[in-house]
Structure 1
Amino acid sequence: MQSKATLKRHAALVDRMSQAQGLDLEEQMLRGRLTVSDLEDAVLRCTGCSCPDACESWLAEQSGPAQGTPGYCRNQDLFDTLSRG
């Protein structure tokens, strides 16, 4: 089981990555395009990433909507799907 600190870190990364994609996860939930279970799965996928430090650096460099996610992002498909909608 992941530690509370790890889960919090990766939940924040998922949220920041979604914002970098121009997505509001709360709004996606209200529209029925994302469930709580989907979000939990996204955070758990993120905890399996071997590049969280690189992700934090990439996110810090973004000044506006990003054109996609880094190639190593385990939630790339989810963000792509939500962005199309």
Structure 2
Amino acid sequence: MIGYPEAPKAWWLTRGMARIAGVNLPRAVVEGWLQRAELEDLIARCAACGRGSACESWLVASGASQRMPDFCPNKAGIEALG
């Protein structure tokens, strides 16, 4: 199992945003089309963002959205994986 005990909220938020874009991050690493270091960069970028509360609220209210919010610093990177 891939997880980040040192940054659980950032992991949860990043994985949630990826799901919105149709990307399964653990599967991407296991299948080799995303390197573990690249995933760590996504998590670190999320943890450093400072908009965790806004992100969490957006994810809770996102419903069936298939588009990530523009304020996400990982938007381009995650959408490129989709």
Q: How does 1:1-85 map to 2 (within 5 A)?
A: 7-67=7-67, 69-83=68-82
- TM-score normalized by structure 1? 0.80
After TM superposition, where is structure 1 displaced by more than 4 Å over at least 4 residues in a row? none
Larger Rg: 1
Unaligned runs of 5+ in 1: none
Normalised by the size of structure 2, how large is the TM-score?
0.82
Aligned residues: 79
Deviation string 1:5-64 (CA, Å, 9 cap, x unpaired) is 771110111111111211111221233221111111101000111211010011011222
- State the secondary structure of the residue aligned to 1:33: coil
| Residues 22, 65 of structure 1: 8 Å contact kept | no
Query: Residue 13 of structure 1: SS of its match in structure 2?
Result: helix
Do the aligned residues in 2 keep the contact of 1:10 with 1:47 (CA within 8 Å)? yes
Percent of residue pairs bearing the same amino acid type: 28
